[in-house]
Structure 1
Amino acid sequence: MRAIRVPFIVIWFLLSGGLYLKAQTNDFSKSEIACLSCKGKLAQRAVLVLQEEIALKSNISLPIAKKWSTNSRPKILVGIEGELKKLPKSLLEPLTKMDAIGPEGYKLLNLPKLRTVLVIGHDERGTLYGVGKLLRKAILSPGSVLIPEQLKLASTPKNPIRGHQLGYRPKTNAYDAFSVAQFDRYIRDLVIFGANSIEIVPPRTDDDFSSVHMEMPAIEMIAEQSRICDSYGVDVWMWYPNMGMDYTHSDSLQVEIDERHRVFKQVKRLDALFVPGGDPGDLTPDNLFRWLDKVASVLHKYHPKAKVWVSPQVFRPTKKWYDAFYAHINQGYDWFGGIVFGPWIKTPIQEIRERIHPDIPIRRYPDITHSLSSQYPVPKWDLAYAITLGRECINPRPYDQKFIHNALDEYAQGSISYSEGTNDDVNKIVWSDQDWNPETPVIETLRDYARYFIGPDYTEGVAQGLLALENNLDGPLLGNHLVLRTLHQWQALEKKAPKEVLANFRFQMGLLRAYFDAYQYRRLLYETELEQRARDILTSAKTLGSQTAIGTALKTLARAVETPIMPQWKARCLQLADNLFTSIGAQLTIEQHGAMPGRGNFIDTIDEPLNDVLWFADQLMAIKNLPNESERRKAIQTMLQRTDPGPGGFYDNLGSPQSWKRVTKGKDRRYDPGNLASPRVAFGVGLSGEEWVHEVSAKGFDGRYTPLAWTNQISTLYDNPLEMTYEDLDSNESYSVRVAYTGRFPSRVKMTIDNVLVHDFIKTGMQPIYEFKIPETCLEDGKIHITWTCGEGERGTQVSEIWILKNDIPKTTYFEKE
Structure 2
Amino acid sequence: MDIDLTRAVVVCSGEAAGVEAKAVDVLIEELAFRTGIELSRLFAFPNHSVPVIVIGTIESLSKMPNPARPSFVPYLKAEGYMLRTVCEESAQTVWIVGAEARGVLYGVGKLLRRLRWGEGSIRLKAPLDVITAPYSTIRGHQLGYRPKNNAFDAWDTAQFDRYIRELALFGANSIEILPPRTDDHPTGPLMKVEPLEMMVRLGEIIDSYGLDTWIWYPNMGEDYSDPETIRAELEERERIFRELPHIHALFVPGSDPGKLEPDPLFAWLEQVAKLLQRYHPKAKIWVSPQIMRYDSASWMEAFYRQVKAEPEWLGGIVFGPHVDVPLPELRTLIPGKYPIRRYEDITHNYQCQYPVADWDLPFALTLGRESCNPRPNAQKHIHNLLAPYAAGNIGYSEGINDDLNKFVWCDQDWDPETPVAETLGDYARWFIDSERAMSITEGLFALEENWVGPLAENEKVEKTLQKWQRIEREAPARVHGNYRFQMHLLRAYYDVCIKRRLHYEAELEQAARDALRQASHAGSLTAAERAEAILAQAEEKPIARFYRERCEKLADELFRSIGYQLTVSRHFARSQGRGAFLDTIDAPLNDIRWLRTQLAIVREADDEEQRLALIDRALNRTNPGPGGFYDHLGSYRGFRRIDPGAGWRNDPGYLNSPRIAHAMHLLSIPEARQRELGGIPLAWIAHANALLDTPIVVRYETLDPAVPYIVKVVYIGETSGKTPRDCWVRLTANDGFVLDDEVAVKAGGVTVRECKVPVEAIRGGKLKLTFIRTRGFKRLNVAEVWLLPDKGDLHAG
TM-score, reference length from structure 2: 0.95
Of the candidates 619, 628, 637, which is equivalent to residue 598 of structure 2?
619
* Most deviating of 668-677 and 135-144: 668-677
Report the CA distance between 1:549 and its aligned residue: 1.2
Q: Which residue of 2 aligns with 1:764?
A: 745
Partner SS, residue 33 of structure 1: strand
Cα shift readout 1:586-645 (whole Å, capped 9, x = no counterpart): 111000101011111000000000000111111112202222221111111100100011
Report the CA distance between 1:663 and its aligned residue: 1.0
Partner SS, residue 390 of structure 1: coil
Contact 1:29 1:146 in 2 (8 A): yes
**Residues in 1 aligned to 2:69 and 2:22: alpha-carbon distance in whole angstroms:** 24
**Residues in 1 aligned to 2:487 and 2:571: alpha-carbon distance in whole angstroms:** 16
Say if 2:705 is the partner of 1:726: no
Say if 2:592 is the partner of 1:609: no
Say if 2:386 is the partner of 1:408: yes
* Most deviating of 244-253 and 66-75: 66-75
Q: Decide whether aligned partners of structure 1 residues 78 and 685 sit closer, same or farther in structure 2, where only a CA change above 3 A counts.
A: closer
Q: Which residue of 1 aligns with 2:727?
A: 747
Equivalences for residues 311-322 of structure 1 within 5 A: 311-316=288-293, 317-322=295-300
Q: Decide whether aligned partners of structure 1 residues 688 and 73 sit closer, same or farther in structure 2, where only a CA change above 3 A counts.
A: closer
Cα shift readout 1:75-112 (whole Å, capped 9, x = no counterpart): 1100212443467887877734xx64311111111112
**Residues in 2 aligned to 1:358 and 1:808: alpha-carbon distance in whole angstroms:** 61
Aligned-residue CA RMSD (Å):
2.0
**Residues in 2 aligned to 1:29 and 1:719: alpha-carbon distance in whole angstroms:** 62
**Residues in 2 aligned to 1:423 and 1:718: alpha-carbon distance in whole angstroms:** 30
**Residues in 2 aligned to 1:49 and 1:782: alpha-carbon distance in whole angstroms:** 70
Contact 1:686 1:743 in 2 (8 A): no
Report the CA distance between 1:74 and its aligned residue: 1.4
Letter in 2 for 1:769: V
Contact 1:80 1:122 in 2 (8 A): yes
Partner SS, residue 203 of structure 1: coil
Q: Decide whether aligned partners of structure 1 residues 390 and 41 sit closer, same or farther in structure 2, where only a CA change above 3 A counts.
A: same
Q: Decide whether aligned partners of structure 1 residues 37 and 668 sit closer, same or farther in structure 2, where only a CA change above 3 A counts.
A: farther
Of the candidates 759, 762, 771, which is equivalent to residue 788 of structure 1?
771
Equivalences for residues 40-59 of structure 1 within 5 A: 40-59=17-36
Q: Which residue of 1 aligns with 2:722?
A: none
Letter in 1 for 2:707: E
Contact 1:38 1:79 in 2 (8 A): no
Q: Decide whether aligned partners of structure 1 residues 83 and 262 sit closer, same or farther in structure 2, where only a CA change above 3 A counts.
A: closer
Q: Which residue of 2 aligns with 1:155?
A: 132
Contact 1:739 1:799 in 2 (8 A): yes
**Residues in 1 aligned to 2:92 and 2:530: alpha-carbon distance in whole angstroms:** 77
Contact 2:666 2:680 in 1 (8 A): no
Q: Which residue of 1 aligns with 2:99?
A: 122
Partner SS, residue 402 of structure 2: helix
Q: Which residue of 1 aligns with 2:424?
A: 446
Equivalences for residues 693-704 of structure 1 within 5 A: none
Q: Decide whether aligned partners of structure 1 residues 506 and 564 sit closer, same or farther in structure 2, where only a CA change above 3 A counts.
A: same
**Residues in 1 aligned to 2:110 and 2:297: alpha-carbon distance in whole angstroms:** 46
Percent identical pairs in the alignment equals: 46
Q: Which residue of 2 aligns with 1:20?
A: none
Q: Decide whether aligned partners of structure 1 residues 623 and 38 sit closer, same or farther in structure 2, where only a CA change above 3 A counts.
A: farther
Cα shift readout 1:682-704 (whole Å, capped 9, x = no counterpart): 1116569969xxxxx99956697
**Residues in 2 aligned to 1:567 and 1:370: alpha-carbon distance in whole angstroms:** 27
Of the candidates 629, 634, 657, which is equivalent to residue 678 of structure 1?
657
Contact 2:142 2:177 in 1 (8 A): yes
Equivalences for residues 131-280 of structure 1 within 5 A: 131-280=108-257
Q: Which residue of 1 aligns with 2:680?
A: 706
Of the candidates 606, 619, 625, which is equivalent to residue 646 of structure 1?
625
Q: Which residue of 2 aligns with 1:326?
A: 304
Letter in 2 for 1:611: N
Q: Which residue of 2 aligns with 1:657?
A: 636
**Residues in 1 aligned to 2:782 and 2:298: alpha-carbon distance in whole angstroms:** 28
**Residues in 2 aligned to 1:90 and 1:672: alpha-carbon distance in whole angstroms:** 54
Q: Which residue of 2 aligns with 1:8?
A: none
Which blocks of at least 5 consecutive residues in structure 2 are unaligned? 720-725
TM-score, reference length from structure 1: 0.93
**Residues in 1 aligned to 2:580 and 2:60: alpha-carbon distance in whole angstroms:** 52
Say if 2:780 is the partner of 1:797: yes
Of the candidates 510, 514, 526, which is equivalent to residue 532 of structure 1?
510
Q: Decide whether aligned partners of structure 1 residues 393 and 700 sit closer, same or farther in structure 2, where only a CA change above 3 A counts.
A: farther
Of the candidates 59, 66, 83, which is equivalent to residue 43 of structure 2?
66
Report the CA distance between 1:284 and its aligned residue: 0.8
Q: Decide whether aligned partners of structure 1 residues 553 and 688 sit closer, same or farther in structure 2, where only a CA change above 3 A counts.
A: closer
Q: Decide whether aligned partners of structure 1 residues 689 and 520 sit closer, same or farther in structure 2, where only a CA change above 3 A counts.
A: closer
Letter in 2 for 1:776: V
Contact 1:588 1:595 in 2 (8 A): yes
Q: Which residue of 2 aligns with 1:628?
A: 607
**Residues in 1 aligned to 2:239 and 2:68: alpha-carbon distance in whole angstroms:** 52
Say if 2:84 is the partner of 1:109: yes
**Residues in 2 aligned to 1:704 and 1:785: alpha-carbon distance in whole angstroms:** 29
Say if 2:778 is the partner of 1:776: no
Report the CA distance between 1:764 and its aligned residue: 1.3
Cα shift readout 1:454-490 (whole Å, capped 9, x = no counterpart): 1211201111100000000001000012100111111
Which blocks of at least 5 consecutive residues in structure 1 are unaligned? 1-23, 692-696
Contact 1:451 1:459 in 2 (8 A): yes
* Most deviating of 80-89 and 242-251: 80-89
Letter in 2 for 1:570: R
* Most deviating of 544-553 and 127-136: 544-553
Letter in 2 for 1:483: V
Report the CA distance between 1:718 and its aligned residue: 1.8
Letter in 2 for 1:637: D
**Residues in 2 aligned to 1:30 and 1:369: alpha-carbon distance in whole angstroms:** 42
Contact 2:421 2:441 in 1 (8 A): yes
Partner SS, residue 579 of structure 2: coil
Say if 2:276 is the partner of 1:299: yes
Q: Which residue of 2 aligns with 1:21?
A: none
Q: Which residue of 1 aligns with 2:343?
A: 365
